[in-house]
C-alpha cells in the first residue's frame, strides 16, 4: 500500500536490525549538463543563488536530524554521488565525511566512496580525500572515443579518466572503478574495445557498464526526436554487452551484478546493500532513503532543500510505505540481477513454476537453492522478472 503526503516534515522510522546500513550524500552541482543525463543536478545558471557552502550547511543539519531518528545505528558504507562531488574539491569532500562522522559512528571497516569527474581531480585531490578516509573512487569515463564523448556532451579529454585512475591508485585507494556507457550512436565495436582495454591497463579493479538509455526531457532525446541521431539499437546493445563480458572475464573481472564487474573482493558494498534490500539514509536535494518499510525522497532544488532545513524540518517531498507485496517485487527484481542469485524460497508456488520454465528455456540456472541468470538471461533480465511476477 502506498501512502503519500506532500511536504512531510517528519517520519516515524523503525529500522530493521541486523542488516547493512549506509548513508548516501547527493551533491547536486555540475559544471555542465551531459546530453543524456536526467539526474537531479544543476549547472551554475540553474542554481538560483544556491552555493556549495549553503548546501553543506543544510546537509549537516539533515544528518543531525537523521541521527535523532536513528540512534545507535552504525554506518557500514558511505557513498557521495551526484552531480559531480569532485567539484567540491578535496577539502570539501573531507568536510562531507566529517559531517557524517559528527553524527554517526562508522564501522571499523566502513567502505567510503565518492564519484568523481576526471576533469575536476588531481593527484592532490586524491591524496586529500584518501587521507580524509575515503577508500573507493568511481570515475565517469564513458568512453575513450572522442566521437562518442562528443555525442554524450562529455567535456573531459579521452585520456584524462585513465590518468585520474592511476593518480587515485598512487594515492593509496583500495578500489578504483570506471564507468562506461555503450551503445552510443556512432560507436563501433573497436571503440568499446579500446575503452575497456584502456580502463584495464589503468589498473582498476571494478568496472560498471551501462547501455545508453535515451531519457525523456534530455538534450539527447530531443536530438533523437529531431532525427539528428538514431535511437540505440537493441541488437547492437546486446552484442556490445556480450563483448564487454567476454573481455572483462578474460582479464579477471567477473560479473556480480548485471552491469558491474570486479576482481574478487572489489565489489561495491554500498550498492550491494541496495540490491540486497539493505537500509540507507539519503541526504541532499532529491536524495532517496529507505528505513524499515518506508521509502522517502527529498525536495529537489537546493534552495527548497536548504529552506526546509533552516526551519529544522526534514526536507521530505514525499514518501511511501511498502507492503509485503511491494517488498516481494523488489526482492525478486533486485536479487535476480546478482550473480549470487535469487533464493527459490522467496517465490510462491506459481512463481517457482514459471521459474522452471525459464530454466528450461536456458534463461536461469540452478545453483543449490538459488536461481541465477545465465549469460543469455542477463540480456533479458527485466523480461524474466516480469514473467516471474506475472499473475
H or E segment and range at residue 319:
strand 316-321
Residues in the chain: 391
Q: Is the pLDDT of residue 7 over 80?
A: no
Tell me the per-residue pLDDT of 92-133, one tens digit each, with 9 for 90 and over.
999 999 999 999 999 999 999 999 999 999 999 999 999 999
Q: Is the pLDDT of residue 8 over 80?
A: no
Contacts for 196 with CB less than 8 Å, ≥ 6 apart: 180, 207, 244, 247, 248
| DSSP string over 87-101 | GGHHHHHHHHHHHHH
Which among 28, 50, 26, 55 has a CA at the least distance from the CA of 41? 28
For residue 87, the tally of other CB atoms under 10 A from its CB is: 18
| Mean pLDDT on 316-339 | 96
Q: How far apart are CA 140 and CA 384, in angstroms?
A: 30
User: What integer pLDDT is reported at residue 16 of this predicted model?
Assistant: 86
Confidence class for position 375, pLDDT limits 50, 70, 90: very high
Q: How far apart are CA 369 and CA 345, in angstroms?
A: 8
Q: How far apart are CA 363 and CA 383, in angstroms?
A: 10
| Mean pLDDT on 1-28 | 73
Whole-number mean pLDDT of the chain?
93
The percentage of the chain sitting over the pLDDT mark of 90, rounded to a whole number, equals 84
Task: For CA atoms 62, 40, 268, 385, give the dihedral sign.
Answer: positive
The percentage of the chain sitting over the pLDDT mark of 70, rounded to a whole number, equals 97
Q: Which residues of 369-380 are buried (b: 16+ CB within 10 A; e: fewer)?
A: ebbbbbeebbbb
Tell me the per-residue pLDDT of 201-230, one tens digit each, with 9 for 90 and over.
999 999 999 999 989 999 989 999 999 999
Tell me the per-residue pLDDT of 144-162, one tens digit each, with 9 for 90 and over.
999 999 998 887 677 899 9
Confidence class for position 3, pLDDT limits 50, 70, 90: very low
Whether 331 and 19 have beta carbons less than 8 Å apart is answered as: no
Q: Is the pLDDT of residue 5 over 80?
A: no
Tell me the per-residue pLDDT of 229-288, one tens digit each, with 9 for 90 and over.
999 999 999 999 999 999 999 999 999 999 999 999 999 999 999 999 999 999 999 999
Confidence class for position 36, pLDDT limits 50, 70, 90: confident
Whether 378 and 241 have beta carbons less than 8 Å apart is answered as: yes
Least confident of 66-75, 80-89, 186-195, 339-348: 66-75
User: What integer pLDDT is reported at residue 13 of this predicted model?
Assistant: 87
Whether 297 and 316 have beta carbons less than 8 Å apart is answered as: yes
Confidence class for position 10, pLDDT limits 50, 70, 90: low
User: What integer pLDDT is reported at residue 9 of this predicted model?
Assistant: 53
Amino acid at each position: 500500500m502506498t501512502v503519500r503526503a506532500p511536504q512531510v516534515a517528519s517520519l516515524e522510522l523503525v529500522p530493521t536490525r541486523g542488516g547493512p546500513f549506509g548513508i548516501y550524500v547527493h551533491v547536486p552541482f555540475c559544471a555542465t549538463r551531459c546530453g543524456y543525463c536526467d539526474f537531479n543536478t544543476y549547472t551554475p545558471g540553474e542554481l538560483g543563488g544556491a552555493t556549495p557552502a549553503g548546501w553543506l550547511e543544510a546537509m549537516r543539519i539533515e544528518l543531525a536530524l537523521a541521527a535523532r531518528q536513528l540512534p545507535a545505528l552504525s554506518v557500514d558504507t558511505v557513498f557521495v554521488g551526484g552531480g559531480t562531488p569532485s567539484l567540491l574539491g578535496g577539502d570539501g569532500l573531507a568536510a562531507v565525511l566529517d559531517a557524517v562522522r559528527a553524527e554517526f559512528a562508522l564501522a571499523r571497516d566502513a567502505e567510503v566512496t565518492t564519484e568523481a569527474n576526471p576533469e575536476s581531480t588531481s593527484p592532490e585531490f586524491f591524496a586529500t580525500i584518501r587521507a580524509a578516509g575515503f577508500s573507493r573512487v568511481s570515475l565517469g569515463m564513458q568512453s575513450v572515443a572522442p566521437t562518442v564523448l562528443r555525442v554524450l556532451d562529455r567535456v573531459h579529454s579521452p585520456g584524462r579518466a585513465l590518468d585520474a585512475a592511476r593518480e587515485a591508485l598512487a594515492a593509496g585507494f583500495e578500489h578504483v572503478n570506471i564507468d562506461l556507457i555503450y551503445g552510443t550512436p556512432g560507436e563501433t565495436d573497436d571503440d568499446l574495445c579500446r575503452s575497456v582495454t584502456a580502463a584495464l591497463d589503468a589498473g582498476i579493479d571494478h568496472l560498471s557498464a551501462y547501455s545508453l538509455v535515451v531519457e525523456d526531457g534530455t538534450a539527447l532525446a530531443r536530438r533523437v526526436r529531431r532525427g539528428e541521431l538514431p535511437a540505440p539499437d537493441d541488437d547492437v546493445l546486446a552484442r556490445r554487452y556480450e563483448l564487454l563480458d567476454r573481455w572483462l572475464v578474460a582479464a579477471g573481472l567477473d560479473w556480480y551484478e548485471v552491469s558491474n564487474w570486479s576482481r574478487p573482493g572489489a565489489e561495491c558494498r554500498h550498492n550491494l546493500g541496495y540490491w540486497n534490500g539493505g537500509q540507507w539514509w539519503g541526504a541532499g536535494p532529491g536524495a532517496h532513503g529507505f528505513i524499515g518499510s518506508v521509502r522517502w525522497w527529498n525536495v529537489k532544488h537546493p534552495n527548497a532543500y536548504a529552506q526546509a532545513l533552516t526551519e529544522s524540518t526534514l526536507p521530505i517531498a514525499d514518501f511511501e510505505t511498502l507492503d509485503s507485496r511491494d517488498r516481494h517485487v523488489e526482492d525478486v527484481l533486485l536479487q535476480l540481477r546478482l550473480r549470487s542469485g535469487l533464493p527459490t524460497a522467496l517465490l510462491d508456488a506459481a512463481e517457482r513454476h514459471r521459474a522452471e520454465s525459464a530454466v528450461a528455456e536456458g534463461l536461469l540456472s540452478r545453483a543449490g537453492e538459488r536461481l541465477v541468470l545465465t549469460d543469455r538471461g542477463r540480456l533479458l533480465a527485466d523480461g524474466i522478472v516480469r514473467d516471474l511476477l506475472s499473475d
